[in-house]
Amino acid sequence: MVVLLGVALVACGALARRYPIAPAILLLLVGVLVGFAPHLREAQLPPEVVLLLFLPALLYWESLTTSLREIRNNLRVVVLTSTVLVVATAAAVACAAHALGMHWGPAWVLGAALAPTDATAVGVLARDLPRRTVTVLRAESLVNDGTALVVYGLAVGVTVGEEQLTGWHVTWLLVLSYGGGVLAGIVVGLISWQVRGRMDDPILEGIAVLVTPFAAFLLADAIDASGVLAVVCCGLFISQVTPRITGAATRQLVLPFWALSTTVLSSALFVLVGLSAQSAFRDLTSTSVRHALVITVVVTAVVIGVRWLWTYTTPYVIRLLDRRPAQRLRRIGARQRTVSATAGFRGAVSLAAVLAVPHKLDSGAPFPDRDVIVLVTCGVIVLTLLQAVPLPAVVRFARLPADNSVLEETQLAESYTLDAAIEAIDVTAAELGVGEPVVDRVRHDLDKQRKLAAAASGAGDPVVQHDDQYTSLSLALIARRREALLELRDEQRIDDIVLRRVQARLDIEEVRFSRAGLAE
């Protein structure tokens, strides 16, 4: 199964580069096809593994790589979509499922499971959108899991017979979920910050980074708070404090590891969704396949429809209530809202929630309509992910304005840091006892970088063309040095240990030049 998953990742990634289709859609199809093999269909993960292994790692990486500034700027939108919209979606799905014959308890379980959007799916399928749009979508999907899981826990508890539904009880669960999750995330983040600040070994610090999201999730889970919110708050806190304590060697080690591992985990989840959908279809016994498919289509329409209705109503109500000039500047048109309305993907949290539904009630009777809940949830996940197919056309229809803010801020950062270095060169050289020839050489390199940064906006600028040629020539010469290095090894004039040591230095130079070329 592991080998098959690896082959699927490579094949689907290659096909996605060749044809305009998201890799997640292809991986879903792979999961469905795998379900036809009797031996492979048994390789399903228990929901506890999805909750305790996949989600902390994926949510932590998403929170580390999102923009806290944009979240603050769009806090009202994020809060409303991650609370009110979640409850409204759960209620609408529950009403639709009940109208189609499902009992109220299972209907609310289904609604709560399908209410939150998925951070992993949003991050994968909507990564090329403008920064503000992506940030709002990712922030919404990072926070709304906490609300949905509270509603889900209540629905399961009431159906099983463990919970009593009262106003005070619901209020307490919400306060515990949000307050406890935020507190647990900050506590673990503070501990991780202090521990990593005292480390000087990149390997040990990398292990500390690896443990952090799972510690936050488990601490919150131990007090019945939201582990999802704990991981998100911990990741956002760490993203703000660690740049001051983390060295370049640690970043070179940790960032590629997280990028690779989260790609594998998220891809595995898409395969798991396809496999679970095929398995749920095969195990359906409590109703007919036709009726289950009708529920799936209707619930999918409700999930998508509620999001579209929310997108085209609440912003205009807010406009009537808030007429501040700063708020007016942040308004977007009706066309541009179609992107957010279309990007309501469901994924890992919904799947883990329905797979965790107990099989028995307290009375010993089977949980009503459990197989229908699993099948409908898997079907809705698949159908909402298929919205990624028309998403490029929706983006073209929306006519989103060009977002050059990242490029502009990057140029500002490069110019500002280079100016700071040039201003400090004489004082720093005196403190280190560096000779004048070395100071002149460094000043010359910094001046060259500053000129290139200033001219980076002009694609046809001779300075930029010169730098492109310099980068190309440097990369070609590094390749020649690598060939010469292999010749020495093949002639047994140097050892493999020496080859790896020199090759590592050449790799660092190649990565530096390659990144410089990409930045420009």
- The one-digit pLDDT tens for each residue of the chain (520 residues) are 778 888 888 888 888 788 777 777 888 888 888 878 777 766 666 767 777 888 888 888 888 887 777 778 778 888 888 889 999 999 999 999 999 988 888 999 999 999 988 876 776 666 667 667 777 787 888 778 778 887 888 888 888 765 566 667 777 877 888 889 899 999 999 999 999 888 888 899 989 999 999 999 999 989 888 888 899 899 989 988 888 888 777 888 888 888 888 888 888 888 887 887 787 788 788 788 889 899 999 999 999 999 999 989 888 887 777 777 766 666 777 788 888 888 888 887 788 788 888 888 877 788 888 888 988 998 898 899 888 888 888 888 888 777 676 677 777 777 788 888 888 888 888 888 888 888 888 888 888 777 766 665 554 445 455 566 767 777 888 888 888 888 888 888 888 888 888 888 888 878 777 765 444 4
d(CA 416, CA 498): 39
- What is the structure's pLDDT at 327? 67
Residue (of 125, 484, 400, 113) closest to 280 by Cα position: 113
Specify the pLDDT at position 490: 87
| Cβ atoms of 124 and 266 closer than 8 Å | yes
pLDDT value at residue 44: 64
Residue type at position 419: D
3-state secondary structure 37-49: CCCCCCCCCCHHH
What SS3 class is residue 361? coil
Residue from 273, 282, 296, 290 nearest 373 by CA: 296
**CA proximity to 304, closest of 342, 334, 348, 351:** 342
3-state secondary structure of 1: coil
Question: How far, CA to CA in Å, does 463 sit from each of 413, 458, 467, 520?
Answer: 20, 9, 6, 12
Q: Hey, what domains does the chain have and what are their CATH numbers?
A: 2-403 (1.20.1530.20), 406-519 (no CATH)
- Taking the C-alpha atoms of residue 159 and residue 368, their distance in angstroms, rounded to an integer, is 9
pLDDT at 125: 66
The pLDDT of residue 93 is: 94
pLDDT of residue 520: 45
Strand, coil or helix: 457: coil
Query: DSSP label at 369?
Result: T
Cα Rg of the chain, angstroms: 26
